[in-house]
Amino acid sequence: MHIGKSLSFVYDTVDIIKFDMAVPVAFKVASCRPIETDRKVQQECREAFRKNQTLKKLMPLIEDALAAGDIERL
């Protein structure tokens, strides 16, 4: 859990998907040794997020995370 920052909730939410999505992409890209590794990882992550409809899947994950803390939905 991230605490004390205005973006803590965003960081916690990203952590939910990071190891399933971004880490494998980063290792795949790094194994090819591109010239601009960071740029290539960003491009490949965007493509993976699009293909896997990550944004559509995030809302239920966020709702589940909030429900785990007994926070009422409005």
Q: What is the dihedral of CA 59, 23, 2, 62, to 10 degrees?
A: 10
Quick one: tokens of 30?
């790094």
Query: What whole-number distance in Å separates Cα of residue 9 and Cα of residue 29?
Result: 28
Please give the DSSP secondary-structure letter assigned to residue 71.
P
Q: pLDDT tens track of the chain, all 74 residues? A: 777 878 888 888 888 888 888 999 999 999 999 999 999 999 999 999 999 998 888 888 888 877 876 656 55
Q: How many residues does the chain have?
A: 74
Query: What whole-number distance in Å separates Cα of residue 31 and Cα of residue 10?
Result: 29
Domain definitions of the chain by residue range: 8-68
